[in-house]
Each structure stands twice: as structure tokens, then as C-alpha cells.
Structure 1
Amino acid sequence: MTDAFIEIPGVRNFRDAGGIGALRRGVLYRSGSLHTLTEEGARKLKDLGLRTVIDLRSQEELEVWPDQRHGLDHESLHLPTLPANRDDLDRPWPEDQADLYTFMPAYAGPSLAAVVRRLAAPDALPVVVHCAVGKDRTGLTIAVLQSLLGASDADITADFLRSNVGLGLDQGPTPYVDETGTERISRPINADLIASSLAWIRTHHGSVPDYLHAAGLTAADLAAVRANLSV
């Protein structure tokens, strides 16, 4: 593992998202969910100065696997990446991993806009952004933020791919049970996946900032988050 990883007992794939582009270290962390966070893990999060946890999972996931706090007094925000209602979509729900990475940016605008607004507030930091295992939904969210802070696609991709190591997927796919009790397979990620998300954003909106503008953010919002997260 790289020095970006931080051992937080009970939390998978926890690491600092900073250190690339202008995004400084110690303000934005990424991880899997906190539903098995231990008391020791909570003490380590407190030592990091944690103020905000942003949960990108579905409502059903939260109900089955609620984050643990162990007395931590951070603010918790539920900002799901994926739409809750599958019936009103203009494209099919993704059936495989490749589809997911063009599906997510098509519907994640509201979530990403809300994440940026919270990160622009000085009292929000440090922040942990997480989904179930910190790989796909978190991967897109962090990639957009890193791009906004001037990271290159190569550096964004290198950070994205660290989830394979953080989750043991560098050894191949692993089985898991989802929130409905169904056994599924968690598959390793590859560079083409996050490239397809960024390509979708640029094809449909021109740039990451323009994508966020389309989601309702202003130039002042983007300037504020850059100022808050920059070295």
C-alpha cells in the first residue's frame, strides 16, 4: 500500500485523496462505509479532526448497514450518487461495470453539486467521502473533485486504481452479499472505467467545471471549494 492509506480499524480502503493537483493532504479522505467502525477506529478518526462524513450510498444500504459513530460528533450527510427511482430514468439501469461508469456521471450531478457546496464551507473539513467499499461511487466523486483541483488524468487514475489494493481486488474478484441479501461479485477496477466517466463528462459538457455548472453550481461555488481545499 502507499502512504495515502491510513489504518482505521473497521473501515476498508481508507486513504487521503490529497497530494495531487492543488488538493492538499489532510482535508479530504475517501473510504468504504463506516458500518463496522470500531471504537479504536473512531478514536483514530477523531485524531484526524474529522468534521463531516458524506455517505454516497442508497437509502436501503443505510438502513441495512448504518454508519457507526462511537460518540463521534461529526456532521453526517446522505448524498446518494445513484437515483433512487429507477422507473423514471431515460436509460436502463447499468447491467455491468462498464455501463456503471457512464451511467453514474449522467445522474450524479445533484450529489456532486451538494458535495462541492459542503466542501466549500470552511467548517466542513476534514471530510470523509464514502460509499459501500469506496471504489465506484466514491471513485467518481473523488475524481471529479481532484480534476476540479487541477489533478492530471494520470494522477486521478493512479489514485482511483489504489482501491484494488485497498480492497484486495488486486488478487482478483471477490464475492460479497449486497443490501438485499443477494450474493454478488466485486470486480477489480481498471483505468478505462474512470476514463469513460471523465470522457462522458467532457463529451456532454465540455469540462468538469461546466458539468458542475450544469448541476447548479456557480463560478463562486467552484472558486470557494478550490480555495478551501487548495495547498
Structure 2
Amino acid sequence: MVNKYEVTQVATNQFHFQRPTSEQAQEVAIYVITSPDERPGELIVKTNEDEITVEVDATNNRPYFYIQTEKEGYTVAERTLPVEGMNNFRDMGGYETADGHTVKWGKLYRSDHIHNATENGVSYLNKLGIHTIIDYRSDDEISKYPNKRLTPEPKTVHLDPAAHAAELAAQFQSSKENEDINLITKIIEQQKAGTLVNQADVVLKQYRVFANKDESKRAFAEMLRVVAQPDAPAVVQHCRGGKDRTGFGAMLVLGVLGVRKEDLIADYLLTAKNREERNRVKMEGYKKLTTDQSVLDHLYSFIDTKSEFLEASIDTIIETYGSIENYVTSELKITQEMIDTMKELYLE
């Protein structure tokens, strides 16, 4: 997205536009639109500034913005959406592909589980036109944390990649009340037995497993087949926190569409920013259960977001198959027709 505006809602109805500094200032017109396909919409400002904040009423509908320059026009929107109760619901639109196309806004979403959405959050989600939900959580997770119901009710597809580290598997199988203490107990048991490995290595292994474990391959292959269905959009894929399982799934979708590796990593790392407060609260809870710093460090690795985690998945794929597209066609048995359909559905 070279020299294109990015937009963030910094306060209610206050939208901040920012782009890399221009070598030569040029005037642009910013229009507010109610759908990504609308052109050009209601003019809200003309400016040659690289940074500007404007007020737009976002009470009833999610706004998109059409930017008209002297040479081109393009659509932008806020990426992380203000879904009350959730911290990581975001739009995967706006990324450019290596061959010059752009991922459409409002068609592909990724998120944490919808269990935490408040009544206002559900009302917001109901306006996004979500047709398909892909839920990567295990049966245990779903039974403990059922998603809030959206209307009209989307089609929900449950796909469990079954690629958790042993410690996390123990946590997911626990009751709500015992999740944290059981996770800590598992770590301490491994520590005493001398089998506890470096916490980052545990997560890195999990990301490599996504690419080559049979259960994971079946789940993510089915995800791509669902996403490739013409009636699938808008699609939201999610796990519990929207980081690991969702991170791999989102990378596959954007990678198949042709988004560059650096943008795949950038999209993944937004989870770190979105979950800062959530992680702080989570660690405060862990500290009430253990004062062992090595255990706390291990716990933090499971909620941390580092570029090398997703890079482990991408590099595993590239080293073996040469490209993400080759991986999904040869290993996940996704046909070229499905890939072409995805590009027709989600690129402009």
C-alpha cells in the first residue's frame, strides 16, 4: 500500500488518515461511502496533508472511504473494527498483491471468538453482512465459550486443526474455572521432569505443525474450499484469541490471493497491538497463581505475537513447496479453479 492513506477511528466518529510523507504534496479528495463498491460518495474534505482527522457519523453503518487523487482512486477503511467486547476483529481488505491487485474490503474478516461480544457488539456485527463463520476451536472450547448468535444467522463451519501444544491442550480440556491452574500445573510438571523446552520453541513448533500435520491440513484445506464458494462472503475466520490458528488460516487466504510476505507478517503482528491490554490482564491473573518467573515467561509465550512465529509457517511452506499457492494445490488439494474463484471474489 505504497503512499496510500491508512485510516483509524481514534475516538467515536473521529477518523484519522495517515500516509507516508509525500515527496511532493498533492491534493486528494476524501469521500465517505456506505459500501466498498460505491463511487464516489459524499465529499468530506479536500486536502494535501499527509495526516488529517475528520468527523464522520459511524452510528448506523460502518463507513468506508474513497480517496481520489489526480492519477487514481482507491478505497480505504479502518482495519480493526470497534466491536464492543471483542479486541481483535479486523478486516483483511486493502492489501496489495504482487501482480497489482488489491484485496477487497468488507469480504474477509478475522477475529477472536464471538463469545465475548456484548449486545452492542452483536448489533455491530449484524450490520457487516457476514454470511459464513469458520470456527477453528475445539469442541471443548465451543461448549465452554459459545459464540453469540448473529442475525441473520450465518453458516458456521467448525474446523479444528488439532495442532495445540500439549500444555494448551490441557488448558482447553479443563473447565472454565480450572483452565489457568491446569495450564500452570502442566508446565510445572514438565519443568520438574526436565522436559520443558524453551517457550518460544514450543510456539514455533506449533506453527510448523500447522503446515504439515494431517489434522491441520484437513482443516485448512476445508477452510479454503469454504472461502472459495461464491456465496461465502462475507467470511470471518476465528479461533479463541484470533492469533495462532486464525493467523495461519488468514495467511493462507491472503497468500493464495498473492499478498506479499511482508504484508502477511504485518497483518499477523496487528494482533500484538490489539491484545496489549488483554495480555496485561491475563498475566496479572497468572501472577496470582504462581510467582515462578520461568513459568510466567512460558505462559507469556502462548499469548505473545512475534513475527518469527508466522514466519516459521511461511518458511516451512516456501522451503518445501516454493510458494503458498504450490502448497495449497499440491498438499491441500485445492484446485486452480478454486484459486481463480477466490481471486474473482476477493480481489479488485
TM-score by length of 1: 0.85
Q: Deviations over 1:13-34 (max 9, x none)?
A: 0110121133211100111001
Letter of the 2:229 partner, please give it: A
1:228 aligned to 2:345? yes
1:138 aligned residue:
246
Indicate the residue corresponding to 2:311 in structure 1. Answer: 195
Listed as ranges, the gaps of 5+ residues in structure 2 are 1-6, 9-77, 167-198, 286-295
Pair 1:174–1:224, CA change in 2 (3 A) = same
Q: Are the structure 2 counterparts of residues 67 and 206 from structure 1 closer, same or farther at C-alpha, using a change threshold of 3 Å?
A: same
Query: How far did residue 169 of structure 1 move?
Result: 6.5
- Greater Rg by CA: 2
Tell whether 2:256 aligns with 1:148.
yes
Superposed counterparts of 1:44-123, under 5 Å? 44-69=124-149, 71-82=151-162, 96-107=202-213, 108-123=216-231
Q: Using structure 2 for the length normalisation, give the TM-score.
A: 0.58
Does 2:123 match 1:15? Answer: no
**Structure 2 counterpart of 1:102, which letter?**
R
Aligned to 1:218: 335
More strand by share: 2
1:162 paired with 2:278, answer no
Residue 154 of structure 1, CA deviation? 0.8
Deviations 1:182-210 (A, max 9, x none): x9544321111111100111222222112
1:25 counterpart = 2:133: no
Matched residue type, 2:335: T
1:27 and 1:127 in contact (8 A); partners too = yes
Output the amino acid matched with 2:346. L
Give the % identical residues. Answer: 27
Asked if residue 175 in structure 1 is aligned to residue 283 in structure 2, the reply is: yes
Q: In 1, Cα distance between the equivalents of 2:284 and 2:314?
A: 28
Cα deviation code 1:125-178 (max 9, x no counterpart)? 11111010101111111111111111111111111100001111797794399x
Which residue identity does 1:8 align to in structure 2? V
CA contact (8 A) 1:57 1:131 kept: yes
For structure 1, which runs of at least 5 residues remain unmatched after alignment?
87-93, 178-182
CA distance in 2, matches of 1:176, 1:76: 34
- 1:205 maps to a residue whose letter is Y
Q: How many residues align?
A: 219
Report the AA paired with residue 230 of structure 1.
L
- Supply the RMSD in Å over aligned alpha carbons: 2.7
Cα deviation code 1:51-109 (max 9, x no counterpart): 1111011121111111111544111110122259x9xxxxxxx9721211111111222
Cα distance in structure 1, aligned partners of 2:135 and 2:224: 14
User: CA, structure 1 residues 70+38, in 2 after alignment: closer, same or farther (shift >3 Å)?
Assistant: farther
How far the C-alpha of 1:112 sits from its partner, in A, is: 1.7
d(CA) in 2 for partners of 1:190 and 1:116? Answer: 25
- Does the residue aligned with 1:76 lie in a helix, a strand or coil? strand
Counterpart CA distance in 1 for 2:311 and 2:228 is 26
